[in-house]
Structure 1
Amino acid sequence: MSATTSDIPRVVIIGAGIVGCSLADELTARGWTDVTVLDQGPLPAPGGSTSHAPGLVFRTSPSKALTDFASYTVEKFTSLSVDGLSCFNPVGGLEVATTEERWADLHRKAGLAESWGVHGELISPQECLKLWPLLDEERIIGGFHTPGDGLARALLACRAQQERATARGARFLDRHTVIGIDSRDGRVTGVVTDRGTFPADHVVSAAGFWGPVIGRLAGVPVPLLPLAHQYARTGPLPELAGVNDPRTEASRPVLRHQDRDLYFREHTDRIGIGSYAHRPLPVDPFTLPAYEDAPVMPSSLPFTEEDFAPSWRDAAELLPALGASRAEEGFNGVFSFTPDGMPVLGEARELRGFWLAEAVWVTHSAGVARAVAQWMTEGRATTDIHECDLYRFEDAQRSPAYVEERGARNFIEVYDIVHPLQPLERPRPLRTSPFHTAQRELGAYFLEGGGWERPHWYEANAPLTEGVSPPERDAWAARYWSPIAAAEARATREKVALYDMTPLRRLEVTGTGSLEFLQRMTTNNLAKKPGAVTYTLLLDEAGGIRSDLTVARLGPDHFQIGANSPADLDWLLRHAPDSVQIGDITSGTCCVGVWGPLARELVQPLTRDDFSHKGFGYFRARRTHLDFVPVTAMRLSYVGELGWELYTTADLGARLWDTLWEAGQRLGVVAAGRSAFNSLRMEKGYRSWGHDMTAEHTPYEAGLGFAVRMDKGEFTGRAALAARGGERERPERRLTCLTLDDPTAVVLGKEPVRVDGATAGYVTSAAYGYTVGRCIAYAWLPARLTPGTGVLIDYFGAPVAATVTEEPLFDPGMDRIRR
């Protein structure tokens, strides 16, 4: 990016740790050279988490974004050096299993690594011993070795990037304590310190565990909990004498013993041991001392030996050589956790120009800095970062009590084996629909999402499993699943079922200019008569899919939107003109999906309006009454069957459920959960945003070109789509439907897919299709693959044969929905 001096924005970055230094380097490399980095401590080690970080970089994560961030961090730090010493030591990573459960999980992790492009291999106990001779081989079942992982020299990387950024015009000022954030008319104007004020067009809080302190000055809550984490060093070990060069410190892989919440790295002739096994030790960032007043530095708290004692015993069992040593020194180092364990990134809507780059570990530092720099200078990051968006949290999830509860839990679970469907344990229940009491009476099995209690199946339907024989599952796939889901799916296909759709986010858009605004923001044509419902997309300027929406036009200037996350509301609010009002009506309303071939027979007797196909067509909406309950009815179906989404206010929700339940008894109505729902939607080929497609994908790649009207006029992302050919685009990759060849096999998602022996893509979502009689998987694969092509999916290290298939698998003619 090039700019004249007068065009260059003034940027102040608060925090000169690894994130702040990396961001200054990334911004100045893009032409934003008027950058000032402030820190309250001395440089080059100002006393935050970076100053004590052990530097571990394991790239593989269930999150593709985190893996991308870590991979770039390795790439960048490898290219940097100070005084002839590289800022990254590629000693590799080794995770060992001492239990069968962990060994199975390492197979799953190897699949994740392959999906995200990280080279790794599963190895035997003997091979583990070759990499780490101090291991007790008898305790090891196997290991996962990632040669490209290693140790980041964080302080050296800070120095290297400071030098580069300074050469481009940036300045780094230490001993400046931030005491205020100046603003005018909702936009940041500067940063006030104890040594003067610094004017700014953009301010970035990269303050680490001090993020909540800076956020309070700006009036922007930062959902982050600082916690202390124990790290100790042994005395000199004879077994390491002469093994390592003191300049590089380590030659053996960073070692993880996750079965005991431990990790290890070499420090020349000593071993450093980090522990997550101790009790959570929350830290109040508002009471931490200044650098001069801290015994060592603000992020280094006194070592609590009693907390470390069990970890020392576990460490000595894995590495018997430690038995003759002891923990000679240690500290409790402070770093950051969020309610979901992900970073907090983005610009505050409440204070434009104020950005967060918080809760970022050294592992992901350069990758996050690149993403934030792209976001600031170009409007978007090339990596999809919706999982890190500041506005991903619900209001209840931003409460201090929730942040503390979940932050502490995430510390405990750092090395736990966490199933993709594993729900939060606390605080629950937090959000419940008006149908919750009735659902409990039916034996609902609840999982959690967005704070909502979501039924996944109902024990009341157990008798319906007679004659339904879904294949047995392995232990991992059987978790949070029940064969009752198959019965509920069949009942939906054969009779009628009620689905609780209340957690679906509902937005109301009103005011003069609402149509024009939504036309500009979305891809499909919404200029239809009131009563029309339209499936459409939110794109970014590059044509990437930010979200998918269902928009009902209830009046000339009145729209109801079905959206995905709080970030959708944030995106619309940022772009709305003053004449348009946008509100989140989710909490005050509720929704029941009534779907199945008998749906009309259930609903029609309850209303005086015509619910026939001719009288109430597909993708239409109307306000009506069902018995005594006023509802907004939308003829939509995410499960591929005839039916309606029925909305009413929360106070009438219980009455709506009871009315439908009682009326449906003669038809054999059932309550059905999300497990059946997901199976049915995949049989129909319907996408799930955030899983099947993200901002990294365009509509034509995702098979959603039907939701784009290039001829309707300008909309966000149109120019980018046009540059790629619009509807004539010939993507190199596509979201592809696969069916598993073995009708008893299942996969769950994020597994790598191989074509002709080479990794070609990864599974986005998967579910057993009870109607089609086999597991369905959607995957990002080369567009050249045609139906009938065979592929292999790696599931826990075992190849599972699958075939590229035409979609949708169920009712391609839409006959069942449009009857």
Structure 2
Amino acid sequence: MPMPPSQARAVIIGGGVIGCSVAYHLVQEGWDEVVLLERKRLTSGTTWHAAGLIAQLRASKNMTRLARYSQELYARLEAETGIATGFRHTGSITVALTEARQEEIRRQAAMARAFGVEVEEISPAEVAEKYPHLNTEGVQSGVWLPKDGQGDPANIALALARGARDGGALICEGVKVTGVAREGRRVTGVDWQAEDGSTGHVDCGLVVNCAGMWAREVGKMAGVNVPLQACEHFYMLTENIPDLGALPVLRVPDECAYYKEDAGKILLGAFEPVAKPWALGGIPEDFEFDQLPDDVDHFEPILMDAVNRVPVLAETGIHTFFNGPESFTPDDAYHLGLVPEIDNVWVAAGFNSIGIQSAGGAGKALAEWMTTGRKPFDLGDVDIARMMPFQNNGRYLAERATETLGLLYADHYPYRQKATARGVRRSPLHAHLADRSAVFGEFAGWERANWFAKPGQAAEYAYSWKRQTFFDNVGDELRAVREGVGLYDMSSFGKLRVEGADASAVMNHVCGAQMDVAVGKIVYTQFLNEAGGIEADVTVTRLSETCYLVVTPAATVRADAMWIRAHMGEARCVVTDVTSGEAVLAVMGPRSRELLSRVSPDDFSTAGFPFGTAREVEIGMGLARAHRVSYVGELGWEIYVSADMAAHVFEVLEQAGADLGLTLCGLHMMDCARLEKGFRHFGHDITCEDHVLEAGLGFAVSKTKTGFIGERAVAERRGALRKRLVQFRLTDPEPLLYHHEPLLRDGEIVGYLTSGAYGHHLGAAVGMAYVPCEGESAEQVLASRYEIDVTGTRVPAVASIKPFFDPKGDRMRD
């Protein structure tokens, strides 16, 4: 076997299907000196025992794009490398046994149509025709994806490895990475030990952590955060079934099961609701192609349902009962990209039992990103920068992993919250809100009040695809903000201090707007990439001549800090995450000025405190900084107060607002209000792929300054839009919108909703979507007939480029 060289351009750690895919795609991109180090043998961790299901449809357009590329790649690898991948189009069926699941799969089918994936909704009789061994008792409907398939996981990985070798990559088996050398924010090389006891060191330009369930351990060697946990994953394989014939993949998520025909046998796999984390004390050193101990009692409930659902199982012996480990992440999305902690360490790991179908696309996307320095398209769903440092805590991972495996087949209700590993990050106001019947959701580890229960109402979610129990609560909270005054906690939003002698120059380079403004001025702006796409959507407050405060969504604070640092050059400037240092209370509504004037001697008039400014104020006996901005489209202020005084300020406001009808509100209300106002949400309505002008945010980009990232792309697109972000309101007040519902223009699908919610003030569901419009005026775009596909029903919708609510923005500026 070859031994590692003394130097390399890239060292890939891990020889599963992911590592082999990254190596293959790097050489496809023209890289030389690519070295892959595998501790034992290729595929010996998880890949060798994977089920090999290869589906096209994922939860977002770009994840679907990656899965479809994987299929295309595996279909041609055999001819390219001479190694059979076993890939074949079998099609797949997902069946619903409940009304809720039926709505879910119908929404998934609609989403598939929007993404261009071939899909068909089929009846129970049609399901039985395609899968004759199925007992259709209780089956309400199904979804058929004819282009889905399956393959041989180990051979797919070996074919990728062959292709990488043919392109010049060096693959070394039996070589374990034992250490990572660093200088400052860069890795300089890796130490290794071979199975024969020999040791060495490879100097390298970068490292790619593809170590699968070892990725957390490898990450720690380099001081890198890669949160994932191995769990036991069960399946059984029957004896040979005469005349079984080829069958599609069958998924019965209501019974936590999937079925795959495998060389005349049936493989039954499970995603049980309560999973079993494995190797909490560390993975055994000699682990290689190993099987974990059987746990028939754990698997038995799923097997009993399966015997009823596919009766042929009752007549067939079990050839193999298998238990093997797979790694799962805290949010069931894999880790991809450049890590926040080190400037030249990349990650592709934690594939949550979809590694085979994801490997081709993930490897290609990462290789392109590494080659160009830019994401090939929006990868926010899986970007490693979304993970918070605390999520690498072992106890947290062990508890969360009991849930995340089962969530793959759980009902994916809108607003569904994780149930495990909760309560880690809390606002200074958490106890106050909990005492007042707040119902919390979790986001980036933060406990956030999403809505408030009424007296006698259970302070908990009761999930549904229809109007959930909080529907009227959110309507009442919105009414308070639109007509009176509401109070909600925004403490979880990220806060970055950018300070130093060159802070103004750095911010002017990174931001599209003019940032050399007066102290106390608040600027709404975007971080743009060279293509004019939106990397961050933020407000920036100039606190002093040398200090700015960037306020950003909770989940992107690390990515945004990375972006600023990556574009500072040698500037005299530092970026510090100060999120936890201040609580933020939003006081919003027509009576917000009246409330604040009761608790503070400061001037809150329009003349004395204009929109878009911030200043220090007294509240009660404390000090705070009030920012006059609004994400709900109403007169209001965000009150930034140090964590130690937050409870006092809350109590003062609550007491003073009692006779004003002050209402505690949650973040579901905020989302509803911002959609009525047409305010964009980063990660949904605007991403790195969406040009700032096409997103309708040209007003936030300076027309006079120069030297900012994306300047040329903005200039080139002015007056030549290819698409427009348009707001839509259903004409029927009954249906609900969430996101990814197909948008039809004059009867043809032209896109999908980027986000949606019920507009309680407007009296119907609202959403936003990009409409292709090259060569068209705004008037021509609006002249068309629009419909939105809600579970297969086309619902007419009114389109508007201006916000439906307060289109001129007078309410928040007066």
Shorter-chain TM range is: over 0.9
**3-state SS of the aligned residue for 2:411?**
coil
In terms of mean alpha carbon deviation, does 519-528 or 599-608 score higher?
599-608
Cα pair 1:461 1:487 within 8 Å, conserved: no
AA aligned to 2:258 is Y
Cα pair 1:188 1:203 within 8 Å, conserved: yes
Partner of 1:329: 320
TM norm structure 1: 0.92
Partner of 2:3: none
Counterpart among 225, 235, 258 of residue 253 in structure 2: 258
- The alpha-carbon distance between structure 1 residues 587 and 480, as it changes in their structure 2 partners (threshold 3 A), is farther
Displacement of 1:373 in angstroms is 0.8
- The alpha-carbon distance between structure 1 residues 285 and 202, as it changes in their structure 2 partners (threshold 3 A), is farther
- Is 1:131 equivalent to 2:130 in the alignment? yes
Displacement of 1:400 in angstroms is 1.8
- Is 1:801 equivalent to 2:788 in the alignment? no
Instruction: Deviation per CA, 1:94-151: give whole Å up to 9, x if none.
Output: 1122333322221122122223332111111221122211112334322111111111
**Whole-angstrom distance in 1 between the partners of 2:271 and 2:248:** 19
Partner of 1:161: 160
- Is 1:770 equivalent to 2:763 in the alignment? no
AA aligned to 1:571 is W
Displacement of 1:401 in angstroms is 1.7
Cα pair 1:337 1:408 within 8 Å, conserved: no
Describe how 1:604-615 pairs up with structure 2 within 5 A: 604-615=597-608
Describe how 1:639-678 pairs up with structure 2 within 5 A: 639-678=632-671
Counterpart among 37, 59, 66 of residue 69 in structure 1: 66
Q: What is the percent sequence identity of the aligned residues?
A: 34
Displacement of 1:617 in angstroms is 0.9
**3-state SS of the aligned residue for 1:363?**
helix
Displacement of 1:411 in angstroms is 0.9
Displacement of 1:462 in angstroms is 9.8
**Whole-angstrom distance in 2 between the partners of 1:178 and 1:376:** 22
Displacement of 1:803 in angstroms is 2.2
Displacement of 1:348 in angstroms is 2.9
Displacement of 1:515 in angstroms is 0.7
Instruction: Deviation per CA, 1:630-665: give whole Å up to 9, x if none.
Output: 111111111111121111101111111121222223
- Is 1:189 equivalent to 2:179 in the alignment? no
**Whole-angstrom distance in 2 between the partners of 1:349 and 1:504:** 18
- Is 1:782 equivalent to 2:772 in the alignment? yes
Partner of 1:232: 236
In terms of mean alpha carbon deviation, does 369-378 or 403-412 score higher?
403-412
Describe how 1:499-514 pairs up with structure 2 within 5 A: 499-514=488-503
AA aligned to 2:73 is K
Describe how 1:45-60 pairs up with structure 2 within 5 A: 45-60=42-57
- The alpha-carbon distance between structure 1 residues 48 and 672, as it changes in their structure 2 partners (threshold 3 A), is same
Partner of 1:3: none
In terms of mean alpha carbon deviation, does 150-159 or 332-341 score higher?
150-159
Cα pair 2:119 2:145 within 8 Å, conserved: yes
- Is 1:515 equivalent to 2:514 in the alignment? no
**Whole-angstrom distance in 2 between the partners of 1:595 and 1:680:** 11
**Whole-angstrom distance in 2 between the partners of 1:256 and 1:105:** 14
**Whole-angstrom distance in 1 between the partners of 2:450 and 2:216:** 36
**Whole-angstrom distance in 1 between the partners of 2:742 and 2:463:** 19
In terms of mean alpha carbon deviation, does 416-425 or 275-284 score higher?
275-284
- The alpha-carbon distance between structure 1 residues 440 and 351, as it changes in their structure 2 partners (threshold 3 A), is closer
Describe how 1:465-504 pairs up with structure 2 within 5 A: 475-479=464-468, 481-504=470-493
Displacement of 1:790 in angstroms is 2.2
Displacement of 1:260 in angstroms is 1.2
AA aligned to 1:228 is E
AA aligned to 1:552 is T
In terms of mean alpha carbon deviation, does 496-505 or 446-455 score higher?
446-455
Describe how 1:694-709 pairs up with structure 2 within 5 A: 694-709=687-702
Displacement of 1:618 in angstroms is 0.9
Partner of 1:347: 338
**Whole-angstrom distance in 2 between the partners of 1:769 and 1:364:** 37
**3-state SS of the aligned residue for 2:618?**
strand
In terms of mean alpha carbon deviation, does 758-767 or 564-573 score higher?
564-573
**3-state SS of the aligned residue for 1:739?**
strand
Partner of 1:583: 576
Partner of 2:103: 104
**Whole-angstrom distance in 1 between the partners of 2:810 and 2:634:** 9
- The alpha-carbon distance between structure 1 residues 586 and 83, as it changes in their structure 2 partners (threshold 3 A), is closer
- The alpha-carbon distance between structure 1 residues 415 and 622, as it changes in their structure 2 partners (threshold 3 A), is same
Please provide the CA RMSD for this pair: 2.3
**Whole-angstrom distance in 2 between the partners of 1:482 and 1:173:** 58
Partner of 1:366: 360
**3-state SS of the aligned residue for 1:200?**
strand
AA aligned to 2:135 is D
**Whole-angstrom distance in 1 between the partners of 2:72 and 2:437:** 51
In terms of mean alpha carbon deviation, does 33-42 or 448-457 score higher?
448-457
Partner of 2:441: 447
**Whole-angstrom distance in 2 between the partners of 1:688 and 1:168:** 42
**3-state SS of the aligned residue for 2:734?**
coil
Partner of 1:178: 177
Displacement of 1:226 in angstroms is 0.8
**3-state SS of the aligned residue for 1:232?**
strand
In terms of mean alpha carbon deviation, does 135-144 or 591-600 score higher?
135-144
Displacement of 1:84 in angstroms is 7.7
AA aligned to 1:486 is G
**Whole-angstrom distance in 1 between the partners of 2:221 and 2:760:** 54
Cα pair 2:13 2:207 within 8 Å, conserved: yes
**3-state SS of the aligned residue for 2:132?**
coil
**3-state SS of the aligned residue for 1:538?**
strand
- Show structure 1 runs of 5+ residues with no match: 1-7, 244-250, 464-472
**Whole-angstrom distance in 1 between the partners of 2:472 and 2:505:** 48
TM norm structure 2: 0.92
- The alpha-carbon distance between structure 1 residues 789 and 461, as it changes in their structure 2 partners (threshold 3 A), is farther
**Whole-angstrom distance in 2 between the partners of 1:225 and 1:308:** 20
Partner of 1:140: 139
- The alpha-carbon distance between structure 1 residues 502 and 461, as it changes in their structure 2 partners (threshold 3 A), is farther
Cα pair 2:272 2:405 within 8 Å, conserved: no
**3-state SS of the aligned residue for 1:105?**
helix
In terms of mean alpha carbon deviation, does 18-27 or 305-314 score higher?
305-314
Cα pair 2:280 2:398 within 8 Å, conserved: no
Aligned residue-pair number: 785
**Whole-angstrom distance in 1 between the partners of 2:300 and 2:463:** 37
Counterpart among 277, 283, 290 of residue 278 in structure 2: 283
**Whole-angstrom distance in 1 between the partners of 2:298 and 2:377:** 39
Cα pair 2:85 2:151 within 8 Å, conserved: no
Cα pair 1:181 1:218 within 8 Å, conserved: yes
Partner of 1:388: 382
Partner of 2:209: 205
Cα pair 2:503 2:546 within 8 Å, conserved: yes
**3-state SS of the aligned residue for 2:657?**
helix
In terms of mean alpha carbon deviation, does 333-342 or 105-114 score higher?
105-114
**3-state SS of the aligned residue for 2:94?**
strand
In terms of mean alpha carbon deviation, does 504-513 or 545-554 score higher?
504-513
Partner of 1:405: 399
Instruction: Deviation per CA, 1:453-490: give whole Å up to 9, x if none.
Output: 32233335999xxxxxxxxx995132363212222212
Partner of 1:739: 729
- The alpha-carbon distance between structure 1 residues 479 and 743, as it changes in their structure 2 partners (threshold 3 A), is closer
